[in-house]
A and B are shown apart, each in its own frame.
Chain A
Amino acid sequence: MWTFFHKLGSPPWLYGISGSILRWLLPLTLLALATGLVWGLLFTAPDFRQGNSYRIIYIHVPAAVVALAGYYVMALAGAINLIWKMKMADVAMRSAAPIGAALTFIALVTGAIWGKPTWGTWWVWDARITSMLILLFLYLGVIALYEAFDNKEAAGKACAVLSLVGMVNIPIIYKSVDWWYSLHQPASIKFTGESSIDPSMLYPLLLMIGAFYALFTCCLLMNMRAELLSREARTNWVRKLALSGGRD
């Protein structure tokens, strides 16, 4: 157990293992994304009330779900960096922020596009949309704060504190539709009891959520590999890697 933890702290080992994970995870992710999209957009029935416009759920919900989960990944990596001073956790935190920001942005934009034909408005300051916008600013804040420091160790610490403080926003986003009157409806996918979305529409949605989790993992690993190479550019293992033509 602890040897695994110590190995995680070694850049060449992490670079190697992430490469071999990506080799099978990336094609699998693309396959799942393509299958989920085709299934959701072409082979499910239209909704009894919203017709075809509900199909944007297959992008909107997975992007939003993984944007929230990605924040936990970023904050957890920040906490590990604060407690154990692990450089790789800092790399993970820094790499997770732009992916989370992109997913949050996708969720906000697809939400606006969905809101116009169903609710009748692009934007309304309801609790969930506002807290999602705060999430986007938190992600962008972490990126900006990191870049504002010359000293990477101080940057890592400051960003870890920011992301830990911002973590309270995640349960707020999740529960906002139950705690306050909002334009969003309560959750359709329920962990206990029967979901209020028909099974024929639920399965492609679950596949898309899984695919977005996998996509997040792939992007995180690829970002981390790039970050590792740029941080360790002067070390022997990177030089060897470059001389061997990038094969590890």
Chain B
Amino acid sequence: MHPVRKQRLYLVLFLVVFSSAAIGLVAYALRGNINLFFSPADVAAGKAPVGQALRVGGMVVDGSVQRSDDSLVVRFEITDFQSTVPVVYEGILPDLFGEGQGAVASGELDALGVLQASEVLAKHDENYMPPEVADALEKSGFDHKGNAQ
């Protein structure tokens, strides 16, 4: 290769490598802020701010959803299988919200450690399948991720 072109090639590689390194370091330094939500373990460890807007995400604990009879108030618990955060929310839940499913609640932690949520989002996993396949898996004793139940 012509020496001038070789020099330009090195310049281009230098540009790509160093800009990647710079942006990589920035992303690494800001990694806590890039996360959309805190896990319940973070909340238990005191990493989440009290009295400030935040999001907590995880699985809705099976059997924890309690709906009020005369209002839209819902109570449930979010877990990451290490810690659990109780959530209170008043409003309409997304269709995909359900026990054993992922959810992200945003609101404020009160003094008792209960998340007073102003918004609840449903999170779904990466598994897509027809209902019959899900039923067949269920019948043979596996959940939709292929784990034995």
CB contact list, B28-78 vs A, under 8 A: 31, 34-39, 57
CB contact list, A181-199 vs B, under 8 A: 181-183, 185-188, 196-198
In the complex, A79 Cα to B94 Cα: how many Å? 46
Known: A164-B12, A181-B57, A183-B121. A119 touches B94 (CB 8 A): yes
In the complex, A240 Cα to B45 Cα: how many Å? 75
Q: How many pairs, one residue from A and one from B, have CB atoms within 8 Å of each other in the complex?
A: 127
Which residues of B lie under 8 Å from residue A228 when comparing CB positions?
Answer: none
Which residues of A lie under 8 Å from residue B27 when comparing CB positions?
Answer: 172
- Distance to closest chain A CB from B4 (angstroms): 9
Q: Decide if A198 touches B96 in the complex (CB within 8 Å).
A: no
Q: How large is the interface on A (under 10, 10 to 19, 20 to 34, 35 or more residues)?
A: 35 or more
In the complex, A197 Cα to B145 Cα: how many Å? 10
Q: Decide if B24 touches A168 in the complex (CB within 8 Å).
A: yes
Say whether B120 faces chain A, with CB atoms less than 8 Å apart: yes
Say whether B23 faces chain A, with CB atoms less than 8 Å apart: yes
In the complex, A169 Cα to B20 Cα: how many Å? 9
Say whether B119 faces chain A, with CB atoms less than 8 Å apart: yes
CB contact list, B115-145 vs A, under 8 A: 119-135, 144-145
Q: Decide if B96 touches A119 in the complex (CB within 8 Å).
A: yes
Which residues of B lie under 8 Å from residue A154 when comparing CB positions?
Answer: none
Interface residues in chain A, defined as those with a beta carbon under 8 Å from any beta carbon in chain B: 44-50, 54, 57, 79, 82-84, 117-121, 124-127, 161, 164-165, 167-169, 172, 179-183, 185-188, 196-198, 200-201
- Name 30 A/B residue pairs within 8 A (Cβ), A-sorted: A44-B130, A45-B130, A47-B130, A48-B144, A54-B128, A57-B128, A82-B12, A117-B94, A117-B95, A118-B94, A119-B122, A120-B93, A120-B119, A120-B122, A121-B121, A124-B36, A127-B36, A167-B16, A169-B23, A172-B27, A179-B34, A180-B34, A181-B57, A182-B36, A185-B126, A186-B126, A197-B128, A200-B130, A201-B128, A201-B129
